[in-house]
A and B are shown apart, each in its own frame.
Chain A
Amino acid sequence: MSAHDHASDHEAGLVHGEEPHGTLKEYLTGFILSVILTAIPFYLLMGEVSWSKQTIALTIVVLAAVQMVVHMVYFLHMTPKSEDGWTLTSLVFTLILVVITLAGSLWVMYHMDTNMMPKHEVSQPR
Protein backbone atom coordinates (compact mmCIF):
# COMPACT_ATOMS: atom_id res chain seq x y z
CA MET A 1 0.00 0.00 0.00
CA SER A 2 2.78 2.34 0.95
CA ALA A 3 4.69 1.58 -2.23
CA HIS A 4 1.57 2.17 -4.27
CA ASP A 5 1.08 5.55 -2.60
CA HIS A 6 4.61 6.52 -3.50
CA ALA A 7 4.06 5.55 -7.11
CA SER A 8 0.82 7.49 -7.46
CA ASP A 9 2.30 10.52 -5.68
CA HIS A 10 5.19 10.46 -8.09
CA GLU A 11 2.86 10.23 -11.03
CA ALA A 12 0.82 13.12 -9.67
CA GLY A 13 4.07 15.06 -9.32
CA LEU A 14 4.81 14.56 -12.98
CA VAL A 15 1.34 15.64 -14.01
CA HIS A 16 1.65 18.58 -11.64
CA GLY A 17 4.71 19.89 -13.54
CA GLU A 18 2.93 19.70 -16.88
CA GLU A 19 0.50 22.48 -17.68
CA PRO A 20 -2.94 21.34 -18.74
CA HIS A 21 -2.72 21.03 -22.51
CA GLY A 22 -5.61 21.68 -24.83
CA THR A 23 -5.91 20.16 -28.26
CA LEU A 24 -7.13 21.67 -31.53
CA LYS A 25 -10.23 19.49 -31.34
CA GLU A 26 -11.00 20.78 -27.82
CA TYR A 27 -10.71 24.44 -28.85
CA LEU A 28 -12.86 23.95 -31.95
CA THR A 29 -15.50 21.99 -30.02
CA GLY A 30 -15.56 24.69 -27.35
CA PHE A 31 -15.87 27.42 -29.96
CA ILE A 32 -18.71 25.76 -31.87
CA LEU A 33 -20.63 25.01 -28.67
CA SER A 34 -20.14 28.62 -27.50
CA VAL A 35 -21.38 30.02 -30.81
CA ILE A 36 -24.54 27.91 -30.55
CA LEU A 37 -25.07 28.76 -26.87
CA THR A 38 -24.61 32.48 -27.63
CA ALA A 39 -26.73 32.53 -30.78
CA ILE A 40 -29.83 31.02 -29.13
CA PRO A 41 -30.28 33.68 -26.37
CA PHE A 42 -29.61 36.53 -28.80
CA TYR A 43 -32.14 35.05 -31.25
CA LEU A 44 -34.73 34.73 -28.45
CA LEU A 45 -34.53 38.49 -27.87
CA MET A 46 -33.78 39.85 -31.33
CA GLY A 47 -36.04 37.54 -33.33
CA GLU A 48 -39.78 37.66 -32.95
CA VAL A 49 -40.26 34.88 -30.41
CA SER A 50 -43.68 34.61 -28.82
CA TRP A 51 -42.50 33.11 -25.53
CA SER A 52 -43.40 34.67 -22.21
CA LYS A 53 -40.78 36.89 -20.55
CA GLN A 54 -40.29 34.39 -17.72
CA THR A 55 -39.62 31.51 -20.11
CA ILE A 56 -37.11 33.58 -22.10
CA ALA A 57 -35.36 34.78 -18.92
CA LEU A 58 -35.09 31.27 -17.53
CA THR A 59 -33.82 29.89 -20.85
CA ILE A 60 -31.07 32.48 -21.28
CA VAL A 61 -29.88 32.06 -17.68
CA VAL A 62 -29.66 28.28 -18.12
CA LEU A 63 -27.84 28.70 -21.46
CA ALA A 64 -25.39 31.15 -19.85
CA ALA A 65 -24.64 28.65 -17.07
CA VAL A 66 -24.08 25.88 -19.63
CA GLN A 67 -21.81 28.13 -21.69
CA MET A 68 -19.75 29.00 -18.61
CA VAL A 69 -19.20 25.28 -17.99
CA VAL A 70 -18.26 24.80 -21.66
CA HIS A 71 -15.63 27.55 -21.34
CA MET A 72 -14.31 26.05 -18.11
CA VAL A 73 -13.89 22.62 -19.69
CA TYR A 74 -12.79 23.40 -23.26
CA PHE A 75 -10.90 26.70 -22.86
CA LEU A 76 -9.67 26.67 -19.24
CA HIS A 77 -9.11 22.86 -19.34
CA MET A 78 -10.46 22.38 -15.85
CA THR A 79 -10.57 18.83 -14.61
CA PRO A 80 -11.22 17.64 -11.06
CA LYS A 81 -7.61 16.44 -11.01
CA SER A 82 -5.78 19.60 -12.14
CA GLU A 83 -3.31 20.85 -9.49
CA ASP A 84 -4.26 17.89 -7.27
CA GLY A 85 -7.83 19.15 -7.11
CA TRP A 86 -6.98 22.59 -5.72
CA THR A 87 -8.24 24.47 -8.79
CA LEU A 88 -11.67 22.89 -8.42
CA THR A 89 -11.67 23.35 -4.62
CA SER A 90 -10.91 27.07 -4.91
CA LEU A 91 -13.49 27.42 -7.68
CA VAL A 92 -16.22 25.76 -5.62
CA PHE A 93 -15.34 27.94 -2.62
CA THR A 94 -15.47 31.07 -4.81
CA LEU A 95 -18.80 30.03 -6.33
CA ILE A 96 -20.29 29.60 -2.83
CA LEU A 97 -19.16 33.16 -1.98
CA VAL A 98 -20.53 34.45 -5.30
CA VAL A 99 -23.92 32.87 -4.66
CA ILE A 100 -24.05 34.26 -1.09
CA THR A 101 -23.06 37.74 -2.34
CA LEU A 102 -25.56 37.81 -5.19
CA ALA A 103 -28.52 36.10 -3.54
CA GLY A 104 -27.92 37.88 -0.21
CA SER A 105 -27.63 41.36 -1.74
CA LEU A 106 -30.66 40.97 -3.96
CA TRP A 107 -32.79 39.42 -1.23
CA VAL A 108 -31.91 41.92 1.51
CA MET A 109 -32.02 45.00 -0.71
CA TYR A 110 -35.31 43.97 -2.31
CA HIS A 111 -36.97 43.76 1.10
CA MET A 112 -35.31 46.99 2.30
CA ASP A 113 -36.64 48.71 -0.79
CA THR A 114 -40.14 47.39 -0.16
CA ASN A 115 -40.13 48.39 3.49
CA MET A 116 -38.61 51.84 2.92
CA MET A 117 -41.14 52.82 0.24
CA PRO A 118 -42.96 55.86 1.59
CA LYS A 119 -46.65 55.07 1.87
CA HIS A 120 -48.89 57.79 0.55
CA GLU A 121 -51.05 57.94 3.67
CA VAL A 122 -47.98 58.41 5.86
CA SER A 123 -46.23 61.02 3.74
CA GLN A 124 -49.27 63.26 3.37
CA PRO A 125 -49.57 65.88 6.08
CA ARG A 126 -52.64 65.50 8.26
Chain B
Amino acid sequence: MGHALTSEQAADRTLFLQLDEHDHEAGGSTLLGFWIYLMSDCLIFAVLFATYGVLGGNYAAGPGPKDLFDLSLVALNTTMLLLSSMTYGFAMLSSYRKKVAATQVWLLITGLFGLAFLSIELYEFAHMIHEGATPQRSAFLSAFFTLVGTHGLHVTFGIVWLVTLMFQIGRHGLTKANARRLACLSLFWHFLDVIWIGVFTFVYLMGMLR
Protein backbone atom coordinates (compact mmCIF):
# COMPACT_ATOMS: atom_id res chain seq x y z
CA MET B 1 0.00 0.00 0.00
CA GLY B 2 2.90 2.36 0.64
CA HIS B 3 2.44 5.67 2.37
CA ALA B 4 -0.24 7.14 0.12
CA LEU B 5 -3.47 7.78 2.01
CA THR B 6 -6.90 7.66 0.44
CA SER B 7 -9.00 10.77 1.01
CA GLU B 8 -11.14 8.83 3.48
CA GLN B 9 -8.13 7.78 5.50
CA ALA B 10 -6.72 11.30 5.36
CA ALA B 11 -9.97 12.68 6.73
CA ASP B 12 -9.96 10.03 9.42
CA ARG B 13 -6.41 10.92 10.35
CA THR B 14 -7.12 14.65 10.47
CA LEU B 15 -10.03 14.09 12.83
CA PHE B 16 -7.85 11.96 15.07
CA LEU B 17 -5.12 14.60 15.24
CA GLN B 18 -7.60 17.35 16.06
CA LEU B 19 -9.04 15.36 18.94
CA ASP B 20 -5.58 14.48 20.17
CA GLU B 21 -4.40 18.10 20.06
CA HIS B 22 -6.84 19.04 22.80
CA ASP B 23 -5.71 16.32 25.14
CA HIS B 24 -2.80 18.09 26.82
CA GLU B 25 -2.10 17.56 30.46
CA ALA B 26 -1.37 20.71 32.48
CA GLY B 27 2.39 21.17 32.60
CA GLY B 28 2.91 18.27 30.21
CA SER B 29 5.30 20.29 28.05
CA THR B 30 7.16 21.98 30.94
CA LEU B 31 10.12 19.59 30.86
CA LEU B 32 10.69 20.02 27.12
CA GLY B 33 10.37 23.80 27.52
CA PHE B 34 12.86 23.76 30.36
CA TRP B 35 15.22 21.66 28.28
CA ILE B 36 15.07 24.26 25.51
CA TYR B 37 15.87 26.98 28.09
CA LEU B 38 18.91 24.91 29.10
CA MET B 39 19.96 24.72 25.46
CA SER B 40 19.85 28.53 25.26
CA ASP B 41 21.88 28.63 28.47
CA CYS B 42 24.34 26.30 26.77
CA LEU B 43 24.77 28.94 24.05
CA ILE B 44 25.63 31.57 26.68
CA PHE B 45 28.36 29.28 27.95
CA ALA B 46 29.52 28.56 24.38
CA VAL B 47 30.05 32.30 23.84
CA LEU B 48 31.90 32.63 27.16
CA PHE B 49 34.08 29.63 26.30
CA ALA B 50 34.80 31.17 22.88
CA THR B 51 35.74 34.46 24.56
CA TYR B 52 38.03 32.62 26.95
CA GLY B 53 39.51 30.67 24.04
CA VAL B 54 40.32 33.91 22.19
CA LEU B 55 41.57 35.95 25.17
CA GLY B 56 42.91 33.16 27.39
CA GLY B 57 46.52 33.66 26.29
CA ASN B 58 46.65 37.45 26.78
CA TYR B 59 48.23 37.83 30.23
CA ALA B 60 49.31 41.48 29.76
CA ALA B 61 52.58 40.55 31.51
CA GLY B 62 50.48 39.50 34.50
CA PRO B 63 50.11 36.09 36.15
CA GLY B 64 49.16 33.11 33.97
CA PRO B 65 47.32 29.85 34.72
CA LYS B 66 50.46 28.14 36.07
CA ASP B 67 50.99 30.91 38.62
CA LEU B 68 47.38 30.98 39.74
CA PHE B 69 45.66 27.60 39.46
CA ASP B 70 45.90 24.96 42.15
CA LEU B 71 44.84 21.68 40.53
CA SER B 72 44.29 19.83 43.81
CA LEU B 73 41.72 22.49 44.75
CA VAL B 74 40.03 22.08 41.35
CA ALA B 75 40.02 18.29 41.77
CA LEU B 76 38.34 18.69 45.17
CA ASN B 77 35.77 21.06 43.64
CA THR B 78 35.03 18.63 40.82
CA THR B 79 34.50 15.86 43.37
CA MET B 80 31.99 18.02 45.29
CA LEU B 81 29.97 18.68 42.14
CA LEU B 82 30.08 15.02 41.05
CA LEU B 83 28.92 13.83 44.47
CA SER B 84 26.10 16.39 44.43
CA SER B 85 24.99 15.08 41.03
CA MET B 86 24.74 11.57 42.45
CA THR B 87 22.94 12.63 45.63
CA TYR B 88 20.46 14.62 43.53
CA GLY B 89 19.81 11.37 41.68
CA PHE B 90 19.09 9.71 45.03
CA ALA B 91 16.65 12.52 45.86
CA MET B 92 14.84 11.82 42.58
CA LEU B 93 14.72 8.08 43.34
CA SER B 94 13.23 8.80 46.79
CA SER B 95 10.65 11.11 45.25
CA TYR B 96 9.53 8.36 42.84
CA ARG B 97 8.87 6.17 45.88
CA LYS B 98 6.92 9.06 47.48
CA LYS B 99 9.26 9.26 50.48
CA VAL B 100 9.03 12.92 51.51
CA ALA B 101 11.58 12.89 54.34
CA ALA B 102 14.18 10.94 52.34
CA THR B 103 13.76 13.30 49.37
CA GLN B 104 14.32 16.28 51.66
CA VAL B 105 17.39 14.74 53.28
CA TRP B 106 18.99 13.94 49.90
CA LEU B 107 18.17 17.47 48.70
CA LEU B 108 19.82 18.86 51.83
CA ILE B 109 22.95 16.75 51.21
CA THR B 110 23.01 17.89 47.57
CA GLY B 111 22.70 21.50 48.70
CA LEU B 112 25.58 21.07 51.15
CA PHE B 113 27.82 19.65 48.41
CA GLY B 114 26.78 22.60 46.24
CA LEU B 115 27.67 25.01 49.05
CA ALA B 116 31.04 23.28 49.50
CA PHE B 117 31.70 23.73 45.77
CA LEU B 118 30.80 27.43 45.96
CA SER B 119 32.90 27.99 49.09
CA ILE B 120 35.97 26.43 47.49
CA GLU B 121 35.44 28.49 44.33
CA LEU B 122 35.01 31.72 46.30
CA TYR B 123 38.12 30.86 48.34
CA GLU B 124 40.02 30.42 45.06
CA PHE B 125 38.70 33.74 43.72
CA ALA B 126 39.53 35.57 46.96
CA HIS B 127 43.01 34.09 46.95
CA MET B 128 43.59 35.19 43.34
CA ILE B 129 42.27 38.70 43.95
CA HIS B 130 44.41 38.99 47.07
CA GLU B 131 47.46 38.22 44.92
CA GLY B 132 46.51 41.02 42.54
CA ALA B 133 44.98 38.74 39.89
CA THR B 134 41.75 40.72 39.64
CA PRO B 135 39.41 40.66 36.61
CA GLN B 136 40.87 44.05 35.59
CA ARG B 137 44.44 42.73 35.50
CA SER B 138 44.42 41.13 32.02
CA ALA B 139 42.13 39.90 29.25
CA PHE B 140 42.85 36.34 30.40
CA LEU B 141 41.62 37.13 33.91
CA SER B 142 38.53 39.04 32.69
CA ALA B 143 37.53 36.05 30.55
CA PHE B 144 38.35 33.61 33.35
CA PHE B 145 36.27 35.37 36.02
CA THR B 146 33.34 35.86 33.61
CA LEU B 147 33.22 32.20 32.54
CA VAL B 148 33.83 30.56 35.91
CA GLY B 149 31.80 33.23 37.74
CA THR B 150 28.77 32.68 35.48
CA HIS B 151 28.91 28.96 36.25
CA GLY B 152 29.19 29.73 39.97
CA LEU B 153 26.22 32.09 39.72
CA HIS B 154 24.17 29.29 38.14
CA VAL B 155 25.11 26.96 41.01
CA THR B 156 24.08 29.70 43.48
CA PHE B 157 20.64 30.01 41.89
CA GLY B 158 20.39 26.22 41.77
CA ILE B 159 20.92 26.11 45.54
CA VAL B 160 18.26 28.82 46.10
CA TRP B 161 15.84 26.77 43.97
CA LEU B 162 16.80 23.59 45.84
CA VAL B 163 16.12 25.11 49.27
CA THR B 164 12.80 26.51 48.00
CA LEU B 165 11.80 23.04 46.80
CA MET B 166 12.74 21.49 50.16
CA PHE B 167 10.21 23.77 51.86
CA GLN B 168 7.62 23.28 49.09
CA ILE B 169 7.85 19.51 49.49
CA GLY B 170 7.65 19.83 53.27
CA ARG B 171 4.49 21.92 53.04
CA HIS B 172 2.63 20.36 50.09
CA GLY B 173 4.20 16.92 49.81
CA LEU B 174 5.29 15.26 46.59
CA THR B 175 2.40 16.54 44.49
CA LYS B 176 2.43 16.32 40.72
CA ALA B 177 3.54 19.97 40.45
CA ASN B 178 6.37 19.44 42.92
CA ALA B 179 7.51 16.28 41.13
CA ARG B 180 7.66 18.32 37.91
CA ARG B 181 9.72 21.04 39.64
CA LEU B 182 12.08 18.41 41.02
CA ALA B 183 12.53 16.99 37.51
CA CYS B 184 13.30 20.48 36.13
CA LEU B 185 15.86 21.19 38.85
CA SER B 186 17.35 17.76 38.15
CA LEU B 187 17.95 18.76 34.53
CA PHE B 188 19.41 22.11 35.67
CA TRP B 189 21.72 20.55 38.26
CA HIS B 190 23.08 17.81 35.99
CA PHE B 191 23.45 20.33 33.15
CA LEU B 192 25.67 22.50 35.38
CA ASP B 193 27.84 19.47 36.03
CA VAL B 194 28.21 18.94 32.26
CA ILE B 195 29.30 22.59 31.87
CA TRP B 196 31.80 22.11 34.71
CA ILE B 197 33.43 19.26 32.75
CA GLY B 198 34.12 21.83 30.03
CA VAL B 199 35.44 24.34 32.58
CA PHE B 200 37.89 22.04 34.35
CA THR B 201 39.09 20.57 31.06
CA PHE B 202 39.52 23.70 28.96
CA VAL B 203 40.26 26.32 31.61
CA TYR B 204 42.15 24.53 34.36
CA LEU B 205 43.76 21.44 32.80
CA MET B 206 44.51 23.00 29.40
CA GLY B 207 45.65 26.16 31.23
CA MET B 208 48.37 24.16 32.96
CA LEU B 209 49.53 22.87 29.56
CA ARG B 210 49.97 26.32 27.99
Residues of A at the B interface (CB closer than 8 Å) are: 1-2, 5-6, 9, 13, 16-17, 19, 21-24, 26-28, 30-31, 34-35, 38, 41-42, 45-46, 53, 56-57, 60-61, 63-64, 67-68, 71-72, 75-76, 83, 86-87, 90-91, 93-94, 97-98, 101-102, 104-106, 109-110
Q: Which residues does chain A contribute within 8 Å of B209, judged by CB atoms?
A: 45, 53, 56-57
Bound CA span A75–B83, Å: 12
Chain B residue at smallest Cβ distance from A39? B75
Check B205 for interface membership: any CB of A closer than 8 A: yes
Partner of A2, one of B9, B71, B198: B9
Q: Which residues does chain A contribute within 8 Å of B122, judged by CB atoms?
A: none
B194–A41 CB distance below 8 A: no
B47–A22 CB distance below 8 A: no
B78 to chain A, nearest CB (A): 6
Stretch at the interface among B36-44, B110-118, B146-154, B156-164: B36-44
Q: With A19-B31, A38-B82, A46-B71 in contact, do A102 and B49 touch (Cβ < 8 Å)?
A: yes
- 19 extra interchain contacts, Cβ-Cβ under 8 A, other than A30-B89, A57-B206, A105-B51? A19-B31, A19-B179, A21-B96, A22-B89, A28-B86, A31-B85, A35-B82, A38-B78, A45-B205, A60-B201, A67-B197, A75-B193, A76-B187, A94-B39, A98-B42, A98-B46, A101-B46, A101-B50, A105-B54
A86–B90 CB distance below 8 A: no
Chain B residue at smallest Cβ distance from A1? B1
Chain A residue at smallest Cβ distance from B92? A22
B35 to chain A, nearest CB (A): 5
* Secondary structure class of chain A's binding surface, majority of residues: helix
* Secondary structure class of chain B's binding surface, majority of residues: helix
Bound CA span A93–B39, Å: 9
B54–A109 CB distance below 8 A: yes
Bound CA span A94–B71, Å: 30
Q: List 13 A-B contacts (CB under 8 A).
A: A19-B183, A27-B90, A34-B85, A38-B79, A41-B201, A42-B78, A61-B201, A90-B36, A93-B39, A97-B46, A98-B42, A102-B53, A110-B54
B205–A17 CB distance below 8 A: no
Q: Which residues does chain A contribute within 8 Å of B96, judged by CB atoms?
A: 21
Q: Which residues does chain A contribute within 8 Å of B183, judged by CB atoms?
A: 19
Chain B residue at smallest Cβ distance from A94? B39
A17–B25 CB distance below 8 A: yes
| Chain B interface extent, by class | 35 or more
Q: Which residues does chain A contribute within 8 Å of B206, judged by CB atoms?
A: 57, 60
Stretch at the interface among B12-20, B124-132, B166-174: B12-20
Q: With A2-B12, A72-B194 in contact, do A41 and B35 touch (Cβ < 8 Å)?
A: no
B179–A6 CB distance below 8 A: no
Chain B residue at smallest Cβ distance from A2? B9
A16–B28 CB distance below 8 A: yes
A71–B42 CB distance below 8 A: no
B103 to chain A, nearest CB (A): 14
A31–B9 CB distance below 8 A: no
Check B145 for interface membership: any CB of A closer than 8 A: no
A4 to chain B, nearest CB (A): 12
